[in-house]
Amino acid sequence: LHTMEKQLHLNLLASKPPMAGLQSGSNVKLRMGPGRKRDFTPLPWSQYFETMEDVEVENDNSKDISFVYCCEDSCGSHGPVLMLLHGGGHSALSWAVFTSVICSRIDCRVVAMDLRGHGDTKVKNPEDLSAETMAKDVGKVVEALYGENPPPIMIIGHSMGGAIAVHTAAANHVPSLLGLCVIDVVEGTAMDALNSMQNFLRSRPKTFKSVENAIEWSVKSGQIRNVESARVSMVGQVKKCEEPLSSPGVSRSISEGIIEEEEEDEEGGESNHKRKKEDDQEIKKECLYTWRIELSKTEKYWEGWFKGLSSLFLTCSVPKLLLLAGVDRLDKDLTIGQMQGKFQMQVLPQCGHAVHEDAPEKVCLVCWPYLVTMCHRLCC
C-alpha cells in the first residue's frame, strides 16, 4: 500500500471506539502499582462472540461434532467470512479478543473453530491429528455452515492452525477462498523446534488448582502476554481433572508451575509467599484442572504439519500474508518467494509466539488491506 493509503487505514481504525470493556492489544502493564493484585478471573466467551454452536458433519459413516464460535456482521450475512484456526493445545477462544477488535472495525463474519482433539469438538477419532484429516475437517465445517455456495472466505491460522490453513488451501477444501493469512509458522523454524518440543511440554505444569491459577501461569510464564486474552483463552485450554484429587504429585506440580511474586497485600501487608503455604494446604479440597489435550502424544503428526509447508504455501494461488514475530523465522524458500513478491510479509516485534493474542490491534491493522479488498470484490 502507498503511504497515503496506510495513513487512511490508520485513521479509519483509530476512528472507531473500542467495544465496551475491551482492552485488547493495549499492552496494559501487568503490575498495577503497590498492593494491587492482577485480575486473573476467567472472562466469558459471550463477551467476544455472538453465538457458539455444534456443527454436525459426516465422517466415515459417523457424525462428528465440530464446536465453533461465530460473530456476524452488522449487515447480517453479506460480509466476507474469516475462518480462524488456532494453534496446537489452544482453542477457538484464543481468537476472542482479535474477533472483537476486527468486528468493531469492519463488516465481516467470523467463524472460530475448535480443531479436532481441542476445545469442545467431539469426533470419532480425536487422536487422528494428521494435516490431511484436519484440513478436511475445515472444509466440512464450511460446507455444513454455508452449503454448496459458501461466501468469500479468508482463512487465518496461527502456528499449527497456520499449517492446517495452508493444507486446506492447497487441497482446495474451501472453493470460495479469497485469502490466506499464516501467523508465526514457517517450515524451517518449525522443523528445528520439534527436537525440543517434548522438553518444552514437560516443563509445563501438569495440573492447576483452578482456572484462575492456569491464567496466572500463562501470563507470568510469558505464554500469553495480554492479560485480557489469557483470561478468555485459557478457559479453552484446560479442563477438570478426571483422576482423584489425592493423586500423588499433584500438589507438587501446581506449586512448581506458578511463578510467585512478592507483592504486598492491600490490607494486611502479607506477602504471597506466606499465603502460598496456606493455599497449598487447601489444594486437596479444590477441584483440579489439567490440559484438555496431551500434546506430547501427538508427536507422530508434527512432521506432517510442517514438512514441505513453505513450498505448499507458495503454490497457493490466493493472496497470501505471512505474519511473524521475528524476521529470523524466514527460511530459504520463503526468503526467495518474498523477494519475488509471491506473498506479503509483516513482522510484529515485541510479541510472543501468540501474536494475535499479544497484539490483536496490530494484527487487525495488518489484515485490514485484505479485508478491504474482499469487501470491494463483494460490492463490484
The catalytic residue positions are 159, 184, 353
Task: Round to whole Å and give the CA distance between 152 and 178.
Answer: 6
Q: Which amino acid belongs to residue 118?
A: H
Question: In which residue are the cell numbers 508434527 written?
Answer: 302
β-partners of residue 85 are 113, 157
Q: Which amino acid belongs to residue 361?
A: E
Residue 290 near residue 238, CB atoms below 8 Å: yes
Residue 348 near residue 327, CB atoms below 8 Å: no
Question: In which residue are the cell numbers 508427536 written?
Answer: 299
Residue 223 near residue 354, CB atoms below 8 Å: yes
Compute the Cα dihedral for 58, 312, 92, 195 and give only its sign.
positive
Spell 114-153 as b/e; 16+ CB within 10 A means b. Answer: bbbbbbbbebeeeeebbbebbbbbbbbbbbebbeeebbbb
Residues 6+ apart with CB under 8 A from 367: 102, 154, 156, 181, 321
Q: How many CB atoms lie within 10 A of CB 62?
A: 10
Pairing relation of β-strands 81-85 and 109-113?
A: parallel
Report DSSP state, residue 234.
G
Residue 81 near residue 151, CB atoms below 8 Å: yes
